[in-house]
Chains A and B, each alone.
Chain A
Amino acid sequence: MTSANQIRMPAGGASASPAGPHRAGRDSARRADNRRKWYEIIGLTTPAVLIYVMFVLVPMGFAVYYSLFRWRGVGPPTEFVGLRNYTLAFQDPIFLDALRNNAIIVFGSLLIQGPIALGVALLLNRRFRGRAVFRLLVFVPYVLAEVTVGIMWKLLLTGDGTVDALMRSLGMGGLVQAWLADLDVVIWTLLAILTWKYVGFAIILLLAGLSNVPDELTEAAAIDGASWWQIQRHVTIPLLGPTIRIWMFLSMIGSLQIFDMIWVTSVPAVRSLGASATMATYMVDNGFFARLWGYGNAVAVILFVISFVAALLFQRFLLRRDIEGAITGRAK
C-alpha cells in the first residue's frame, strides 16, 4: 500500500459525511488526520513490537550466541568453540535419524492428508442428511489437545491393548505389530496418529475454501453439460488452489517443529535410539537431559534455519500469487 493511499483513506472516510470544508481547512485536517494515524500506529504496535523483540528476536540472538559455546548450563558460558556444536550435530547418527523422521512426517502428512482431506471435503460439500454431524465428527480430533491425543493412542496401542484386540477379533491378527516398540514401525504409527488428528484441520480449511467457489461457475459448467466429476476436476479444485497451498504451508511448518505428540507417545528409549526422534525432541533430550546447553542451542538454531528456509522457498515458489502485495511486494 502506498503512502498516498494511506493519506487518502481518512480523507475519503471524511468525504462520506455531508460537510464540504474549505480547501485550507481540509489540508490542515488532513495533516491532523495523518498525525493521528501515526500516533495510532505507534501506540497500537509498540507493545506488540516490544514483546516480539524481547521474546522472539533477542532470545533468537542469544540462542545463536550460546550455540557457539561448549556450555553445560553451570556458570556463564566461557568456552568458545565456534561451529563445533553444529559439526557434532551433523555427525550424530541420531540427529540424522531425527532429520529423516521430520522428512517422513512432512511428506507423509502432505501425501496422505491432502488426498483424504480433498475427497472428504468435496463429499461434505454436497447436500445430504446428517452433513453437519459428519462435519463436526471429522473436526473433533483436531480440537483435542495434542498431549491428550498422544496419551489416548499410547493406551490404545500398548501391547495386547485395545487396538490389538480389535484387530484380532476382526481376523487381522496377523497384522498386529509392536506399534510403539518396534523401531522400524514406530515412526509410521506416529504418522498415522498425526494424520488422524490433523486431517480434520485440512478438511475444515478446504470446506471454507469450497464455500468461496461461486455457484455461478459450477452451474455454468453443469449447463454446458459437465458431469459432477468434471466440474470438480476442472472448476472447483483449480479454484481451491490458494487454500490447498496455505494448508500445505501450515502443515509443513508444523511437521518440521513437531514435538508434543512424539514426546508423549514415544518413550525415551525409542526416541534416543533414533526411531522416533524429531529435531525438537532431540533438542530437548540433548539440551536439558544431557545438559549440553550450548549444543541444544545449536540444534535449536538448525531447526530454526531449516524451518525458515523451507518457509521462504515455499512462499517464493508456491504462495507467491496468493499473498502478492501482502509480503512479496507488488506484482510486476
Chain B
Amino acid sequence: MATKRRASAVLALLMTSVVVLAGCSGGGEEAAPQSELYKDPVTLSWWHNASQDGPGKTYWEKVAKDFSALHPTVKIEIEAIETNQLQRTRLPAALLSSDPPDIFQAWGGGEMSEQVEADYLKEITDQTKTEVGDIGSAAEIWQVKGKQYGLPFRMGIEGVWYNKEMFAKAGIAAPPTTFEELNTAVTKLKAINVIPIAVGAGDKWPAAHWWYNMALRACSVDALKKASAEKNFDDPCFVKAGQDLKAFIDTKPFQPNFIATPGQNDPTSANGMLANGKAAMELMGDWNRGTLDTVTTDKAKLASFLGWFPVPAISGSPGDPKAALGGGDGFSCAKNAPAECVEFLKYIVSPEVQKGYAETGTGLPVAKGAADAVKDPALKSILEATSGASYVQLWLDTAYGSTVGNAMNDAIVAIFAGNGTPEKVVSAMKAAASK
C-alpha cells in the first residue's frame, strides 16, 4: 500500500491555482509616466532562481539593497525559487492571476513568445536601447518579433569541459576540432582505461544537447531560424542530426548505464564524474564551472586539470562550424509592473553590477564592460568563443517551447536508450507542436 500525498498535492495545486485564477481577470493598465519615476513609494516583487545558498543568492540580495539605497522610494521583495518550480508551476500560475511578480526570471525563446502573445510582459524596446546595444546579439533571445521584452544578465555558449591531465596521459596533443579527431581521442582515452565522455542522460537534456549540436552542424543557419520561428522541422538536416548522433553513440564514448546518470548536483552525476577524475569529458554550458565546484572533492585539483574547447565541427556538413549553441538567464517585467521595474532591470545589466556578478563566478556576464572581471581560464575561453561565434542558436528545447522541447528530448533519449530512431525525433516534434 502506498500513500501518495504528493500526487494529490500536485493535483490540488493545479486545481486550486485554477480556482483562484477563475476569479481574476486582467486588471487595469496604468503605467506611470516617466516624470513620476521615484516619486511614490513602490514595492517591486522579484522572483529569481538562485535558490541555493551561495554567492549567487547573496549577490542578488546585495543588488536589491544597493538599488534601494540609490532610490529610497523603491523597496524590493525577493523570492528565490528553485528553477523547475519557478518555471513550471509558480510563474505560469502567477502570470495567469492578476497579481504576478513585477520582475521575474525569463529564459527567452518559445516560452517568451507565448507569454507575449498572452500579453503578460512589458515591452521595453525604447527604454533599453543603450543596454541592448552594449549586450549585443545575445539580447535578441529576449526579443519577440523585433521588440524587447526582457534583458539577459548571464549568457554563454556550450562546449566540451575536459580533463587536461587525462588528455596528456592518453597522448592527445590538442583538443579535437573535428568529430574525426574527437573519435580518435575517445579511442585513445579508452586505451588508458578512462571513461571518455560522461553524459547525464538521466536528466534527458544533457543527452539531448548532443543532438542539438549535431543539428547545429547538419543544418544551415536558415533552416535553424525557420525551425525556431515557424516550428517547421521539414528540413532533412534534422533527421541527419539523429543519424550522426546514432553513429557517434555507436562508438560507445559514454559511461555504462548512462540512461540513469543524473546531469549535475551530486557526486554520481555526469558532472561529478568529470569533477572527480572519473571521466575525461562532458558537454555542458558555461554554468558548469560553478556546478563542478560544488560536486568536486578537491577544488584546487579540479582547477588545475579543467579545460574547455568548443564543440568540434563535422567536416563537409552545411552547418556553420563557428556557430554555437547557447542560452542564458534574464529578467522580464510584468505588463503592469511599475515603471521603476524597468529601471531596476537596467541597473541589473549595468556594467558595474555585471562586474560584481562575474566575480561571483556563477556565470558569464553579458555587458561588455564586465568581461575583465572573469578570471577563470576555462570561463575566459568560453567568453572568447562566445564573442567569436558567427551565430548563437538558443538551446533548442527553450527555442521551441516546453511542449515541442520536451517531446524532442524524450525522443532523443530514446535513441540513447537504443529504442528510438532519427525519424521518430522529428515526428515526435511535429506531433507535439499540434498537441
A-side residues, CB < 8 A to B, are 54-55, 58-60, 62-63, 66, 70, 72-76, 88, 94, 105, 109, 113, 146, 158-159, 178, 180-183, 194, 197-198, 201-202, 247, 250-251, 254-255, 257-261, 263, 267-270, 272-273, 280, 283-293, 295-297, 300
Contact = CB atoms under 8 A, between A and B. Distances in A.
Contact of A289 (B202, B406, B416): B406
User: Considering residues B2, B203, B435, which has the most beta carbons from chain A within 10 angstroms of its beta carbon?
Assistant: B2
Interface of B: 1-8, 10-12, 14-16, 18-19, 22, 84, 88-89, 92-93, 95-96, 114-115, 117-120, 201-204, 207, 256-257, 259-262, 268, 401-403, 406-407, 409-410, 413-414, 416-417, 419, 432, 435
B171 to A, nearest CB: 28
Nearest to A201: B1
Given A182-B257, A269-B203, 15 more contacts: A60-B15, A62-B15, A72-B114, A109-B2, A146-B5, A158-B268, A181-B259, A181-B261, A183-B259, A267-B261, A268-B203, A290-B406, A290-B407, A291-B401, A300-B14
Nearest to A75: B118
A268 to B, nearest CB: 5
Contact of B16 (A55, A159, A197, A270): A55
A285 B414 CA distance: 16
Nearest to B207: A269
A194 B4 CA distance: 12
Contacts of B432: 290
Contacts of A182: 257
A258 B7 CA distance: 7
Nearest to B120: A74
Contacts of B84: 289
A291 B201 CA distance: 21
A109 B4 CA distance: 15
B112 to A, nearest CB: 11
B403 A290 contact: yes
B435 A295 contact: yes
Nearest to A263: B6
B425 to A, nearest CB: 13
A259 B203 CA distance: 18
6 closest A-B pairs by beta carbon, nearest first, are: A59-B15, A267-B202, A181-B260, A259-B7, A251-B1, A254-B2
Given A74-B92, A297-B14, A290 B402 contact: yes
B202 A270 contact: yes
B138 to A, nearest CB: 25
B260 A267 contact: yes
A305 B3 CA distance: 18
A268 B260 contact: no
A254 B406 contact: no
B403 A273 contact: no
A273 B417 contact: yes
Contacts of A290: 402-403, 406-407, 432
Nearest to B257: A181
Contacts of B117: 74-75
Contact of A178 (B118, B260, B401): B260
B435 A109 contact: no
Contacts of A269: 201-204, 207, 259-260, 413, 416-417
Contacts of B417: 183, 269, 273
A54 B19 contact: yes
A88 B257 CA distance: 31
A251 B4 CA distance: 11
A254 B1 contact: yes
A272 B204 contact: yes
User: Considering residues A70, A269, A273, A289, which has the most beta carbons from chain B within 10 angstroms of its beta carbon?
Assistant: A269
A289 B402 contact: yes
6 contacts: A58-B19, A254-B4, A270-B260, A289-B406, A290-B407, A291-B403
Contacts of A109: 1-2
A202 B114 CA distance: 49
B10 to A, nearest CB: 6
Contacts of B114: 72, 74
B259 A257 contact: no
A73 B7 contact: no
Contacts of B260: 159, 178, 180-181, 267, 269-270
B379 to A, nearest CB: 28
Contacts of A94: 410
Contact of A284 (B10, B203, B410): B10
B5 A260 contact: yes
Contacts of A297: 14
A219 to B, nearest CB: 33
A186 to B, nearest CB: 8
A326 to B, nearest CB: 21
Contacts of A178: 256-257, 260
Given A59-B15, A257-B4, A272 B410 contact: yes
B96 A73 contact: yes
B424 to A, nearest CB: 11
A283 B22 CA distance: 22
A166 to B, nearest CB: 17
A262 to B, nearest CB: 10
A201 B7 CA distance: 20
A261 B5 CA distance: 11
A201 B6 CA distance: 19
A330 B351 CA distance: 79
B382 to A, nearest CB: 27
Contact of B1 (A73, A180, A247): A247
Contact of B259 (A54, A59, A270): A270
B4 A259 contact: yes
Contacts of B93: 73
Contacts of A285: 406
A67 B367 CA distance: 45
B202 A62 contact: no
Contacts of A273: 259, 410, 413-414, 417, 419
